[in-house]
Amino acid sequence: MTIPSIDVHSHALPQAYLDALTELGVNSVEEDGFPMPAWSEEAHLRFMEETGQEFCILSISTPHIHRGDDAVAARLARAVNDELAAVCRRHPDRLGFATTLPVPAVQASIEEARRGFDELGALGVKLPSNGAGVYLGDPKLEPLMAFLDERAAVVTIHPSLPSAVPQGIFTAGPAPLFEYIADTTRAVLNLMAYGVIDRYPHIRWVVPHAGSFVPSVAHRLTGISQILVPAGLMEPINVMDNLRSLYWDLAGDARPVMLEGLMHIADPAHLLYGSDTPYTPVPITARNKEGLASDPLIAPIAQTVFHDNAARLYGLA
């Protein structure tokens, strides 16, 4: 059985991105300890047919393309986005994309986001949890946040490898196991702690991988904030209100533990389906999708999770 769905977390590896990694001298296997999958436009469309994806929102995964030179990152982002837009123009009823931005190059990121929305037809933007060590929530990114708020942008967070990873332990190898979800969590906590979510309420943030570790630390942050705020060490925030405003994709192995934790903090109208293809092979994607659809926490709201929430968020008919 296939379940019709809108897939908000699926990746493309266009030639422009592969060329960018080559130019930057980045070996993704060495950096992330995880094999880079093959991808093609045709294979992605076959995947959609096999697994019942009505529509996919494509984005670039990791490694991130900013390696210290703003101008180079801006040029590479432009090439990647041009190719993604061309793919989506060939299949407008099946594919959309999120613009890659060359953060932390703020002005270049604003210009590329504007171009993505106004010229390329992007449905949102993708931001790494950290770009060259600058995390979401950093004051350096305030002008970009203001622009994205003005445009009421859908902003997908994607994990990126932190600049410092302990070596010689297993989690230093396959980054998706721990470092990715830890870095997503760092970014979300930073956004909350620095008041970005409150200050820019029109940005629609999408947090990947069933919230990463956020559900596990949400109530701990509430408790700690009640100590730090009176001591003048933290600005007042309503942690749970912040969390309820966020959107959450269910890519990866959300069941059973991560999903249960997420349901304690998330608005069910903000849950979104994601496959994480092609990094997750098709058979595992199909298994995960069936499992989600039959899970007692999702089954009663399956139509909204697999389709309606994403259609409303992205303005899809």
DSSP string, 10-39: EE---HHHHHHHHHHT--HHHHHSSPPPP-
| β pairing state of 124-128 and 130-131 | unpaired
Rg of the chain in Å (alpha carbons): 18
Contacts with 25 (C-beta within 8 Å, 6 or more apart), sequence order: none
Cβ contacts of 188 within 8 Å, gap of 6 or more: 136, 157, 205, 207, 211, 212, 214, 246
Cα dihedral 82, 181, 213, 44 sign: positive
The model carries a pTM of: 0.96
d(CA 202, CA 200): 6
Q: What is the pLDDT along the chain (317 residues), one digit of tens a residue?
A: 568 899 999 999 999 999 999 999 999 888 888 889 999 999 999 999 999 999 999 999 999 999 999 999 999 999 999 999 999 999 999 999 999 999 999 999 999 999 999 999 999 999 999 999 999 999 999 999 999 999 999 999 999 988 888 888 888 788 888 999 999 999 999 999 999 999 999 999 999 999 999 999 999 999 999 998 899 888 899 999 999 999 999 999 999 999 999 999 999 999 999 999 999 999 999 999 999 999 999 999 999 999 999 999 999 97
Q: What is the mean pLDDT of the chain?
A: 95
3-state secondary structure (DSSP) of residue 170: helix
Domains of the chain, by residue range, sit at 5-314
The domain 5-314: what is its CATH number?
Answer: 3.20.20.140
Q: For residues 9 and 43, give the distance between their C-alpha atoms in angstroms, rounded to a whole number.
A: 16
| pLDDT tens-digit readout, 269-282 | 999 999 999 999 99
d(CA 128, CA 115): 19
pLDDT at 32: 84
Is residue 129 a contact partner of residue 184, using CB atoms and an 8 Å limit?
A: yes
pLDDT at 317: 76
What is the per-residue pLDDT for 1?
Answer: 53
Counting Cα atoms < 13 Å in the Cβ hemisphere of 239 gives: 20
Start-to-end CA span in the chain (Å): 24
Phi, then psi, of 95 in degrees rounded to 5: -130, 140
Give yes or no for a contact between 25 and 292, defined as CB atoms under 8 angstroms apart: no
